[in-house]
Amino acid sequence: MDYCSFLLAALSTPTQSAAFEDHDHQATITTFGAPGSVEVSPQSINPRGAVTGWYVDAGGTYHGFLRESRRNFMRTNNCDRDGYENDCAGTNAILTTFDPPGATVTQPLSINPEGDIAGVYTDANNSFHGFVRACHRDGREMECDGANAIITTFEAPGAVDTVSASINLTGAITGYYVDANNSFHRFVRDCDRDNPEKDCEEGNAIFTTFDPPGAVRTFPESINPKGAITGYYVDANNSFHGFVRDCDRDNPEKDYEEGNGIITTFDVPGAGTDEQGTFPVSINANGTIAGYYIDANNKYHGLVRDCDRNGCEGGNAIITKFDAPGASTESVGTLAVSINPKGSITGFYWGKDNLVHSFVRDCDRRGHERDCDEGSGIFTTFNVPGESTSIGQGTLAISINPKGAIKGYYFDTNNSSRGFVRDCNRECNGDE
């Protein structure tokens, strides 16, 4: 089961931003909606602070959105307040809506540093298709709004349904597809590297399919800048296991073709096996993986799979388990859902007060770089001011970018949900 199945549908009021200062941690929380929306679900934030996701209008139709800086012309600048790079408050933000041609449901899932967006849409026949909304063509950098953005739709070879889940810096996309026999398969959609100057349009894209050994169904969740992919799969006994598909380091210049990809499977010690197990959901540029696992008592705990100095293969990987401070031992527990290049992890947890709270787990870097093991992990917990205090509601962090900006959503006192970005005026997540 995907962590998104635990995220309640996000509801929103029309576009209006409000900013709250977190004086203890030099963080600013900005809330936002979408025009004409009754539901909003932010999904991904890139290094420039651009946010993508979807919203639902009053007629129940899903549309994609991109929220970015008004000053982000030629994609060289973002919202710069008081000398700091941070996200867009108030009138500095532009929200652009979009849909692939023929879409009845549009769900963007990932945005890369260039502003390219990958996701899935549904057509009138209820079939799923992948898409990428790209911003740059013919060697020119463009502002990615309106007519300057090009949406390319695609299908994996032999697919009945295609879901694209994550896009990296080079435009490589990972996801899964379902064939005519209702079997699930994994894919990477990459650009033709023999023509490196070309964009990854339909005719230039190369599809590679893969499956971890023993997998019945596999769900790739994240692809990093080097093309390493993490996710989880289900075996014949309905147990969930983690995997990472990495390149052949003896042939580092080769594409991630089928024969060159190395798949490593892993499990967290103590993970349950009865429709339980290990769920990696995010991988950073260093190959460090964040996610969660479900134990035999159906409690959720955070996980980090890191590399030691000899690399991150097999026995060299170090798995650390953790729980957010204040996480309930009686209800769901802790879910880690995103990790940035510095190793900072964000996610959310169910508290002892029966509310949902968000956290950042950072490494202790005072004086030297060290692994963020259990003893050196520094937690900062936060909630959006004015959120609902009804049971089971609260603040849900979903994604963290390299500068520590976090996006997600929260429930207000009307039991409606709005998007938020928690941005740092300084190093506000444990490095201060």
The proportion of the chain whose per-residue pLDDT surpasses 90, expressed as a percent, equals: 49
3-424 topology per CATH: Methylamine Dehydrogenase; Chain H (2.130.10)
Give tens-digit pLDDT for 278-304.
Answer: 999 999 999 999 999 999 999 999 999
pLDDT at 149: 84
Query: Per mean pLDDT, which range of 99-113, 328-342, 364-378 is the poorest?
Result: 364-378
What φ, ψ does residue 92 adopt, rounded to 5°?
Answer: -75, -10
Look over the chain and give the mean of its residue pLDDT values, rounded to a whole number: 79
Q: Which of 178-182, 267-271, 352-356, 367-371 holds the top average pLDDT? A: 267-271
Examine the pLDDT at 73 and tell me if it is beyond 80: no
pLDDT at 399: 96
pLDDT at 341: 93
Examine the pLDDT at 116 and tell me if it is beyond 90: yes
Instruction: State the pTM of this model.
Output: 0.83
Q: Which of 145-154, 243-252, 275-284, 324-333 holds the top average pLDDT? A: 275-284
pLDDT at 192: 58
Examine the pLDDT at 358 and tell me if it is beyond 90: yes
pLDDT bracket for residue 221 (50, 70, 90):
very high
pLDDT bracket for residue 139 (50, 70, 90):
very low
Examine the pLDDT at 191 and tell me if it is beyond 60: yes
